[in-house]
Amino acid sequence: MSGWLQVAGLGPGDEDLVTPQVQAALSGATDIIGYIPYVRRVPDRAGLTKHESDNRVELDRARHALELAAKGARVVIVSSGDPGVFAMASALFEALEAGPQGWQDLDIRILPGITAMLAASARIGAPMGHDFCAINLSDNLKPWPIIEKRLRLAAQAGFSMGFYNPRSASRPHQFGQALAILREELPATVPVSFARNVSRPDERIVTVPLGQAREDMADMRTVVILGTAETRQVGRFTYTPRSYPEAS
Amino acid sequence: MSGWLQVAGLGPGDEDLVTPQVQAALSGATDIIGYIPYVRRVPDRAGLTKHESDNRVELDRARHALELAAKGARVVIVSSGDPGVFAMASALFEALEAGPQGWQDLDIRILPGITAMLAASARIGAPMGHDFCAINLSDNLKPWPIIEKRLRLAAQAGFSMGFYNPRSASRPHQFGQALAILREELPATVPVSFARNVSRPDERIVTVPLGQAREDMADMRTVVILGTAETRQVGRFTYTPRSYPEAS
């Protein structure tokens, strides 16, 4: 048996957002590896071994997956959203680089998925309809001053922004600092959407002007979408026009 | 019959990347509207009317779709990639805002899809594995100086970048100007990937250092992915580590 390793994006939660490519990978796997809630989304079946691991052990998980594939297993690392966006793909390549040379000959594929920012954007309207950026607000893997600098530059650039991991129990106040920086750089009327559990039955989306956004509107299950000075509301929708005003 | 309108992302080309949610919308539609090659991806069937339109008539197309839905049709506007990323969702809301008030009561949904930047990223490795941005390099709808400013600020912020519409027959030299700006701001070693026809049978991906990137490596069917100063190669893959070096 020839082993392989695929890192599959399960999307934000709704099974109707899982691509056929990812479903085929899950069907062909002997081993599923990932963070507990993502592994539990994969139905049990004969011949399938599920390896659940805790959050924050991404490198251990990636090494384990590579070891299994090197022994001939057909392994899927499951990731929420898109594996290339603040998820498992980078961790896999970090482990690959640090591991035995032979691992680099393995059959490895990354399977894209619907990332939370774009699933949220679709529910809100089209807030990322112009140029945009995505920033992970967690300072677990980068210094907070870098995040502050990026927020200022992104605001000056006029990007819509998607914020992943805006706030957690161990970092309750940094998101408030981020909002304060954004208020210094942008009009108070710019819409901010808090999208919690996007595409799940308990989805909740709240849009407020930046001037009224508070840090306690976000938690770890929220992706935050910030518009630009050009972002508009029409009916229940929020969208950023394709054209930039100075063009006309 | 109660009409509805959905804007559906068909992904970059491979049918295995179309979500079940989008497939269900296509199956339930009476009318499919969109740019010719995207409409032709939808199989003919009894009861389905296909309306093909040329490129650059996005607002006319959106108005047509709203008119049909207002008359009771079940309409899908097909978009490549994700409709919220440089595609039809914003155009729809522009048409909605400019149209009769009654249109705002229509049943309207945006269905996300796999956007070209993230499909390309998955094929390359994980170049967007840290913070990133997406910039439409066409100046059809915004002034070129805004694009230059965004390139500089994004480089200073340390974002990976995805460039849509990098180059066309009518704009053959602006992409060269963009590369020149990026070379002023970033090390010549930063990897740039040119991903043409991602996920299609004739997919072609070429990665070179920024110092060797040339404008004729891109065309309208190419999405360009630029790494950061931290982006690395491991075997045949290119990835941006999750952690930022000053963190340690």
CB proximity A130 to B under 8 Å: yes
User: Would you say B83 and B113 are in contact if contact means Cβ atoms under 8 Å apart?
Assistant: yes
Using CB atoms, pick whichever of B94, B143, B149 lies closest to residue A157: B149
For β-strands B160-164 and A125-126, DSSP reports them as unpaired
Which pLDDT score, from 0 to 100, does residue B247 have? 46
Q: What is the DSSP string of B177-240?
A: HHHHHHHHHS-TTSEEEEEESTTSTT-EEEEEEGGG--GGG--TTEEEEE--TT-EEETTEEE-
For β-strands A125-126 and A237-239, DSSP reports them as parallel
| CB-CB under 8 Å, B232 with A97 | yes
CA distance B223 to chain A (A): 14
User: Would you say A218 and A165 are in contact if contact means Cβ atoms under 8 Å apart?
Assistant: no
User: Would you say A182 and A226 are in contact if contact means Cβ atoms under 8 Å apart?
Assistant: yes
| CB-CB under 8 Å, B246 with A142 | yes
Cα–Cα distance between A150 and A93 in angstroms, integer?
A: 25
CA distance A32 to chain B (A): 19
CA distance B128 to chain A (A): 6
CB proximity A100 to B under 8 Å: no
3-state secondary structure of A159: coil
Three-class HEC string of B73-142:
CEEEEEECECCCCCCHHHHHHHHHHHCCHHHHHCEEEEECCCCHHHHHHHHHEECCCCCEEEEECCCCCC
Instruction: Please count the residues of chain A.
Output: 248
**Nearest-CA residue of chain B relative to A18?**
B19
> What kind of fold does domain B4-114 have according to CATH?
Cobalt-precorrin-4 Transmethylase; domain 1 (3.40.1010)
Q: Work out the average pLDDT over A219-233.
A: 97
Instruction: Please count the residues of chain B.
Output: 248
> What kind of fold does domain A117-247 have according to CATH?
3.30.950
Please tell me the least confidently modeled range out of A55-59, A118-122, A230-234.
Answer: A55-59
**Secondary structure element (H or E) that encloses residue B39, with its range:** helix B36-39
B237-239, strands of its sheet edge to edge: B125-126, B237-239, B232-234
Cα–Cα distance between A221 and B241 in angstroms, integer?
A: 23
Cα–Cα distance between A21 and A18 in angstroms, integer?
A: 8
B113 to chain A: which residues are within 8 Å by CB? 114
Closest CA to A56 of A168, A161, A147: A168
pLDDT (tens, 9 = 90+) of chain B, 248 residues, equals: 589 999 999 999 999 999 999 999 999 999 999 999 999 999 999 999 999 998 889 999 999 999 999 999 999 999 999 999 999 999 999 999 999 999 999 999 999 999 999 999 999 999 999 999 999 999 999 999 999 999 999 999 999 999 999 999 999 999 999 999 999 999 999 999 999 999 999 999 999 999 999 999 999 999 999 999 999 999 999 999 999 886 44
CB proximity B235 to A under 8 Å: yes
Whether ipTM tops 0.90, in short, is yes
Alpha-helical runs (H) found in chain A:
20-28, 36-39, 58-70, 88-98, 116-124, 144-157, 174-185
Distances A164 to A195, A221, A235, B13 between C-alpha atoms, Å: 11, 9, 27, 28
Using CB atoms, pick whichever of B113, B149, B235 lies closest to residue A104: B235
CB proximity B239 to A under 8 Å: yes
Domain range annotation of chain B: 4-114, 117-247
pLDDT single digits (tens) B63-104? 999 999 999 999 999 999 999 999 999 999 999 999 999 999
Cα–Cα distance between A98 and B80 in angstroms, integer?
A: 37
CA distance A214 to chain B (A): 23
